A and B are shown apart, each in its own frame.
Chain A
Amino acid sequence: MSSKIIIIATAVLLVASFSLLFIIEAKNHNYDYNKTWSVIYFENPQDNSLDFAIENHEGEKSEYGYRIFVADDKVIDEKVEINAGATQKISPVISSERLMGNKVLIEVNYKDTEYKIYKNLGK
């Protein structure tokens, strides 16, 4: 009888533990749950396109400022509000003559944190 109690109790304990761990993992395997971070990236890193995206994983609706520099000249300075967990795609319009052969830098600010990405565009 004692063996049966031990085996049954262990099985129940393991199912409870597994369920808890499975749920903890499933909840945390998420870009937003209990996390505070942001990311910016070019939608297409392969070509000269400047389309980029900002993802807000800060846990709240936030305002991001973004500035675009072409060879150190600021050409765009805007702000955008992004919902928690959302992705904002931005397609800057800059003439191709202006871009050619230059480094294009995109700076995104959220509170005190600055994110930047850039492309060195060929001629």
Chain B
Amino acid sequence: MIFDLLKLIFTVPFLLVLPGFFLQLAVFGMKDKRISFLEKAVLIIPLGLIATNLIILFLNKMGILLNGPVIVGAVLIFCAACFAIFQFRFGKKKDKKEKESDEETEKIFDFSSWQTIFILLAILLAVFIRTAYLSDTIVPSATDLGHHMYWAQTIIDSGQLPNYGVPDFIIGEHMIFAAVNLVSGVKLMSAMPVLLLFLFNITGIFTIAILLGRIFENKKIVAVSFFVAGSLYAINAPQGRYVSGGVIGNIIGDMLIPVALYFLFRAFTEKDQIFAGLFLFSFAGLLYTHHLSSFIFIFSVAGILFLYLILNIKNIFGIVSDWLKVFLKPFPLAILLLSAFFFLFVFTPSYFNAAAVTQATGTPTKITRVGLSLSQIEGGVGSAQLFLATIGFLLALLAIRRKQLKYSVTIGWIIVLFVMTWKPALLDVNIPSNRISNYLFLPIALLSAYGLVRYFEIFGAAASRFFSAVLLFTLLFFVITNGLSDSADAFKARPQFQQAMETFHSAEYLAATVDTNKDVVLKDHVNMYADSWYKLFFMKDYKYPLSRGMLTRYVDPTKTRETCTRDMISFPESDVARECFADTGVNYVAVNAQIEGSSFEQLPEFSKVYGSDEISIFKRN
């Protein structure tokens, strides 16, 4: 156990920190005046993740079998190549001037003692709440994570990247987990996947902070952002609950979106080609990781830039021309070509087709896609966050300076995501509204931090100190009690480790006794805990064993769904179910012992071959 832990502790930095560090070294050198220590440290993990993913994609394209030594060697070669570039670009330069101006850059993130203590406390609280919550859910059990880990295991077993055949899965969601396993040997059915997501989630808090730092250039706002993004609603989606739930794309997306926006903001405001290139690099990483996050990011950027251009309509051609000039330079063009090369010739994401775009745009086709009500949005993002963000939004509106891009980011981002969530038809968006609403967290965190600090500043300078103090304490009381209320769940939850282990035991039994070439297993998702991990015991096919899904999934007014997997468990004695058994060849059924188990026991055509407190397995005679 300790040996595995040590291997994990050394492997994660090797795959995520080392490539990110050397990539930055090649791009910025050791002492670049444009980027502070905090920014470099924060960006290491997102850039390292993208670099490692691209290395694996390249190895796969070259037909090299993926295994531990190959990945270690490739990462080391990548780092050596980056170091060679660093030596070539910066090796002989002695940068006295850079050292002087370096202090200027550090100033934005050079916090006072009290600010440092506040940030450390906010991070401590954020990590503590998540750790407490995860300690009750850390044994693998989440449905989404189980599905994703099947694909990661496929990479591990075959040494190749899978051909999904469906646009629901994206390669960037699986490569890093497979890579960590191949290098360290730590199993996927362990804490490893959740811990990686935890790392990305915490890194996401930092990426929001550096984005805010560059937008507002205000240390107080950066400090408060750690509390707002890290500690408030630390368990709600898309935070702790998504970490334990294995919602990989969202978690990585929430880390990469602020990074891409950070680079884009700096590219435009500082007219710097390096940031333009890194924007394209991080956007490519996002495209390889999660289609929905990429879709949201494209809409977000479009909304921000559209607002900025509208506010500066008289100078629109000059602005667009300036932007183009930033991107039509060697570094961004090289990254663009490299990205295009990867997308076209190395690995094309499974969702890259016209059908996927058509499905995601147009008039909403389902009730779940027509938008959320205001109360649903409030429930999703949290009352305190929404309240703070509203204050921030109003204060930003009052302070707006049309020529400053930061106000367009502050206001445009929330407007576009809010409309996508509330009235998606207005923007021709046709994807589940509750999934879009999870991304509101990002602009809301930005606005909340801005609103809270500006609120303090305004009332701190108010004439009536008593009045301002009462208002401040009332606001803080509301924010803290409401914002931390979900974290109470972290301490109320009861672990379901035994149920998970009983499910795994039953899967192990079936995997050892059935012949997957002729036997067909059906298991229940409705009443079995951790059942999505069943497929990892067989590794035959993504759809093996068959599964009775959530009952609502069988009712779809837009298309006919198969119902056999439902009928064979819900009504096993019916003629329809008998036909289904004959058609599908299902001869083993794993169900909850207390619920469906009792009804199967009444049926003479089944033998009960396995019985525990939680799971019963029946064999069709």
Q: Which residues of A contact B (CB under 8 A)?
A: 1-7, 9-10, 13-15, 17-31, 34-42, 44-46, 55, 103, 113, 115-120, 122
* CB neighbours of A36 from chain B (8 A): 498
- In the bound assembly, the distance between CA atoms of A30 and B608 in angstroms comes to 25
Contacts of A37 in B (CB 8 A): 498, 502, 612-614
**Listed residue (B109, B191, B604) with the most chain A CB atoms within 10 angstroms of its CB:** B191
Find A31's partner among B112, B113, B501 (CB 8 Å cutoff). B501
Contacts of A35 in B (CB 8 A): 497-498, 501
Given A6-B38, A118-B608, are A26 and B1 also a contact pair (CB < 8 Å)?
A: yes
Would A21 and B195 count as touching, CB distance under 8 A?
yes
* Closest A residue, CB atoms, query B135: A24
Cβ-defined contact, A28 with B495, below 8 A: yes
Q: Which residues of B contact A45 (CB under 8 A)?
A: 513-514, 588, 607, 609-610, 617, 619
Bound-state Cα–Cα, A41 to B611, Å: 6
Q: Is residue B119 within 8 Å, beta carbon to beta carbon, of the partner chain?
A: yes
Asked whether, in the complex, the Cβ of A115 is within 8 Å of the Cβ of B612, the reply is: yes
Name which residue of chain B comes closest to A33, CB basis.
B497
A selection of 12 A-B contacts at a CB cut-off of 8 Å is A7-B38, A13-B127, A14-B199, A17-B130, A25-B139, A25-B190, A26-B191, A29-B139, A29-B189, A29-B190, A29-B501, A103-B604
Q: Which of B182-239 contact A (CB under 8 A)?
A: 189-192, 194-195, 198-199, 202, 206
Q: Are B9 and A18 in contact (CB under 8 A)?
A: yes
The interface bits of chain B over 497-518 (1 if a CB of A lies within 8 angstroms of the residue's CB, else 0) are 1100110010001000111000
* Complex Cα gap A119–B609 (Å): 7
Q: If A3-B110, A29-B189 touch, does A17 touch B139 (CB 8 Å cutoff)?
A: no
Residue of B nearest to A27 (CB): B1
- Do A20 and B612 touch (CB < 8 A)? no
Find out whether the CB atom of A39 lies under 8 angstroms from the CB atom of B505. Answer: yes
Complex alpha-carbon distance, A34 and B505, angstroms:
16
The residues of A that contact B109 with a CB separation of less than 8 Å are: 2-3
What is the CB-to-nearest-CB distance from A8 to chain B, in angstroms, rounded to a whole number?
9
A18 vs B198: C-alpha distance when bound (angstroms): 9
For residue A108, give the distance in angstroms from its CB to the closest CB of chain B: 8
The 8 closest A-B pairs by CB, nearest first: A25-B191, A45-B609, A3-B38, A39-B612, A2-B111, A41-B610, A2-B116, A25-B138
- Pick from A28, A34, A118: contact of B607, CB below 8 A: A118
A4 to B36 CA separation, bound complex (whole angstroms)? 11
Q: In whole angstroms, how far apart are the Cα atoms of A109 and B604 in the complex?
A: 23
B106, CB-defined interface residue at 8 Å: yes
Q: Quick check: B609 and A3 within 8 Å, CB to CB?
A: no
The CA-CA distance from A117 to B606 in the complex, in Å, is 11
Set B140, B190, B195, B502: member contacting A39, Cβ < 8 A: B502
Separation of A118 and B619 alpha carbons in the complex (Å): 10
CB distance from A104 to the nearest CB of B (A): 9
Q: Are A22 and B8 in contact (CB under 8 A)?
A: yes
A31 to B130, CA, bound (A): 26
Name the residue in B190, B195, B515, B604 with the highest tally of chain A Cβ atoms < 10 Å from its Cβ.
B195
For residue B621, CB closer than 8 A to chain A, the reply is yes
A35-B501, A45-B513 known; A2+B607 contact, CB < 8 A: no
Q: Indicate if the CB atoms of B41 and A5 lie closer than 8 Å.
A: no
Cβ-closest chain A residue relative to B8? A22
Other A-B contacts than A21-B195, A30-B501, 7 sampled, CB-CB below 8 A, are A3-B37, A6-B123, A14-B199, A18-B198, A28-B138, A36-B498, A116-B608
In angstroms, Cα B116 to Cα A85, docked, is 50
Cβ of B302 under 8 Å from chain A: no
Q: Specify which chain B residues have a CB less than 8 angstroms from the CB of A103 in the assembled complex.
A: 604
B445 on interface, CB distance cutoff 8 Å? no
B115 at the interface (CB under 8 A from A): yes
Return the chain B residue nearest A30 by Cβ. B501
Bound state CA distance, A42 and B617, in angstroms? 11
Could you tell me the distance in whole angstroms from the C-beta of B190 to the nearest C-beta in chain A? 6
A21 CA to B196 CA in the complex, in Å?
12
- Interface check B134, CB cutoff 8 A: yes
List B contacts of A5 (CB < 8 A): 116, 120
Decide yes or no whether B5 CB sits under 8 A from chain A. Answer: yes
Complex Cα gap A118–B601 (Å): 9
The yes or no answer to B4 lying at the interface (CB within 8 A) is yes
Query: Are A22 and B191 within 8 A (Cβ)?
Result: yes
Chain B nearest CB, measured from A28 CB (Å)? 4
B37 to chain A, nearest CB (A): 5
Which residue of B is nearest A42, CB measured? B609
Residues of B with C-beta under 8 A to A7: 37-38, 41
- B67 beta carbon closer than 8 Å to chain A: no
Give chain B nearest CB distance to A49 CB in angstroms.
11
What is the bound-complex CA distance between A10 and B116, given in angstroms?
A: 12
A17, B498: Cβ atoms closer than 8 Å:
no
On whether the beta carbons of B131 and A117 are closer than 8 Å, the reply is no
CB of B124 closer than 8 Å to a CB of A: yes
B134 surroundings in chain A (CB, below 8 A): 21
Give the most central of B8, B198, B513, B609: most A CB within 10 Å.
Answer: B609
Neighbour of A23 across the interface among B5, B38, B106, B192, CB < 8 A = B5
Q: Which residues of B (589-621) have their CB < 8 Å from a CB of A?
A: 604-614, 617, 619, 621
B610–A21 CB distance below 8 A: no
CB <8 Å contact, B497 and A41: no
Which of A24, A29, A120 interacts with B621 by CB under 8 Å? A120
List, in ascending order, chain A residues with CB within 8 A of B127's CB.
10, 13-14, 17
Which chain A residues border B116 with CB–CB below 8 Å?
2, 5-6
Tell me which residues across on chain B come within 8 A of A1, comparing CB atoms.
Answer: 110
Pair B609/A14 contact, Cβ less than 8 Å: no
Contact among A4, A14, A42 with B610 in the assembled complex (CB-CB below 8 Å): A42
* Set of chain B residues within 8 Å of A118, measured between Cβ atoms: 607-608
- CA distance in complex: A47, B408 (Å): 71
